[in-house]
């Protein structure tokens, strides 16, 4: 059974011979009722405060759970972004390696082609040198033949001059 301050104030006792002083009992009951009322009011206030704090605590826990979920989601997103960045970096590196390999192959092909071109040019130079020597030799032979013919003609001219001189003196 719960007592209220009013219950305490209105409590009546039987009066008996050699009993307690009614005024003292009434005053004491009045003090107890006031104290009880104060305690009851304090209790209600504390219960209200407890309820408010429980609600506030519940809100904080909900926020904490929300923050935990957000943190976990952020971590998952961050991990996902890291994985994607890693995959992207690997793809870029692989693409760069393929391009570098192609470029290197083209450079090797170009180098081989240049070596072939140089060898062809050397071969052509040798052929041209042979042809020029041959032409020079032929011209030298022609010049020598021409010189010999000129000498022969000069000798014949000299003979003719000699033959012509006596006829001129006899006439």
Q: What is the pLDDT of residue 56?
A: 95
Give CA–CA dist 8/5, Å, rounded.
Answer: 5
Q: What is the pLDDT of residue 101?
A: 96
- Number of domains observed in the structure of the chain: 1
Is 141 contained in some domain? no
Is 137 contained in some domain? no
Is 17 contained in some domain? yes
pLDDT string in tens for the chain (171-residue length): 577 777 777 777 777 777 777 788 888 888 888 888 899 899 999 999 999 999 999 999 999 999 999 999 999 999 999 999 999 999 999 999 999 999 999 999 999 999 999 999 999 999 999 999 999 999 998 888 888 888 888 888 877 777 777 555 555
61: its two tokens: 């826990």
Is 127 contained in some domain? no
Structural domain boundaries, residue 15:
5-121
pTM, full prediction? 0.43
């Amino acid at each position: 059974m719960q007592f209220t301050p009013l219950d305490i104030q209105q409590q009546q006792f039987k009066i008996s011979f050699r009993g307690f002083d009614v005024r003292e009992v009434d005053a004491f009951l009045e003090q107890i009722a006031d104290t009880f009322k104060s305690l009851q009011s304090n209790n209600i206030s504390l219960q209200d405060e407890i309820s408010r704090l429980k609600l506030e605590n519940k809100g904080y826990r909900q926020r904490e759970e929300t923050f935990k979920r957000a943190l976990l989601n952020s971590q998952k997103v961050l991990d996902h972004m890291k994985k994607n960045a890693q995959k992207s970096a690997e793809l870029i590196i692989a693409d760069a390696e393929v391009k570098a390999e192609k470029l290197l192959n083209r450079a090797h092909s170009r180098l081989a082609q240049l070596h072939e071109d140089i060898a062809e040019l050397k071969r052509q130079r040798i052929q041209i040198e042979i042809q020029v020597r041959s032409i020079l030799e032929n011209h030298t032979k022609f010049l020598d033949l021409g010189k010999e013919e000129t000498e022969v003609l000069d000798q014949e001219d000299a003979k003719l001059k000699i033959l012509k001189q006596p006829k001129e003196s006899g006439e």
